[in-house]
Structure 1
């Protein structure tokens, strides 16, 4: 089997390693079948799509909608590298699943708009599949309604041209969409379980997602939530595209 490629942007080792380990666990892939690039420290050189089964992009602290003057050289490089790769992925309709930061990367192309209108606090939220989502080869593995973990400052305000809305939420209208037949993005995190969410709440305590005094309440809410369905997206992605 050709390997899958996992792209991460998290500078904190605990969060970065936890995210990669969770993707491994829920996708069912062995470590040798999921190559990893940490974009916050390594440039994304030419990726040979023919040598891969698919690409999975994780989340992270970068936001496409950040003011340009506030973006670090690392963020600007990561955005440029991902935009170039995303254009190739879209042009060839190559299998791609982007979680959270994938919304900013894919959602801002082809006339799409990503801004701060529909940000959501960290926690579990109900997500509903659209008719297209229920019929989709990837999203159709999920029940029509399920809870998912998320936490984001930006979201899709206007979908890219030709995008198919697959999942929606109450506070955030776009929770998942598809471009072409094989390029997917989710606003929620399919790789997150309770322990990983608690880890991220801890790691990103000072990153502006919540007020530090809310920490204990967020951890308690995470531990009280029942989130079991979103990880099936990862195993289904591998099932559909492993070659």
Structure 2
């Protein structure tokens, strides 16, 4: 199915929070590529720069959230004014998204935003270094429409300082890994979050490794090891989820 074959004309929205232009622009390009959407049907909002627009949620097909250098579990005194604004705006939006069961897929930062809404415990217990890990679908994950076409276990890119320690009963666990038990979950029927990055390819994660080398994801002398870690195995399956999301919810 091409972008011209998708039903309807209501756009999807990508909520982004990266201040660095190169990884921010590459993130948008990767979402365009893997969803198959043309730019006019994937509206990007850079929340680190601009306040959240007032969306008419009846006029959008769904919402995507990219990764972020923000950590929900950071103490308030370490959060910038921009981060605090973004968190407040995201919280208000996610409250409405969940109440309406609006199509939503948050990649990495989606776990922080949706997990906060659920009052899930989020901390560094299951942080993962930037690398490739093997993610396995749960029985519920194998039955979920968004995982259609995915192998039962697949390599995926990760790199995060925080994660959900245990998932509340209001959410359904869809995927896990040996080093992070909550890799993907769903709330109600249409609200999803992944800890891994379905939007990334190898070039994209290499860009981020260099862009965020001083952000504490790895030690100063571990650049080479980190670049080697993301080449451990080819990563091709997770991006299918983005196209599946668009084909399922375009209207």
Q: Name the TM-score class by shorter chain.
A: over 0.9
Distance 1:31 1:88, change over 3 A: same
Report the CA distance between 1:113 and its aligned residue: 1.7
* Residue matched to 2:170: 162
User: Are 1:233 and 2:241 counterparts?
Assistant: yes
Q: Residue 39 in 1 paired to residue 61 in 2?
A: no
Partner of residue 195, structure 1: 203
Describe the SS at the equivalent of 1:198. helix
Q: Give the equivalent residue in structure 2 for 1:12.
A: 20
2:52 partner SS: coil
Q: What do the CA deviations read for 1:131-158 (whole angstroms, capped 9, x no partner)?
A: 0000001023311000000100000112
For structure 1, list consecutive stretches of 5 or more residues without a partner in the other structure: none
The answer to whether the Cα contact below 8 Å between 1:111 and 1:161 also exists between their aligned partners in 2 is no
> Residue 88 of structure 1: which of 96, 101, 111 is its match?
96
Q: How far apart are residue 159 of structure 1 and its match?
A: 1.6
Q: Alpha-carbon deviation of 1:224? A: 4.4
Q: TM-score scaled by structure 2?
A: 0.95
Query: Partner residue of 1:112?
Result: 120
Structure-1-length-normalised TM-score: 0.98
Question: Unpaired segments of 5 or more residues in structure 2?
Answer: 1-8
Equivalent residues of 2:10, 2:41 under 8 A apart: yes
The 4+ residue runs of structure 1 with deviation greater than 4 A are none
Q: Tell me the residue number matched to 1:71.
A: 79
Bigger Cα displacement from structure 2, 218-227 vs 42-51: 218-227
Supply the distance in 2 between the matched residues of 1:112 and 1:140 (Cα, whole angstroms). 27
1:181 corresponds to which residue?
Answer: 189
Q: Which residue of 1 aligns with 2:132?
A: 124
| CA deviation vs aligned residue, 1:181-208 (integer Å, no higher than 9, x gap) | 0000000000111000100000000000
Measured against aligned partners, the alpha-carbon deviations of 1:38-68 in whole angstroms (never above 9, x if no partner) come to 0000000322111100000001100000111
Give the paired residue count: 243
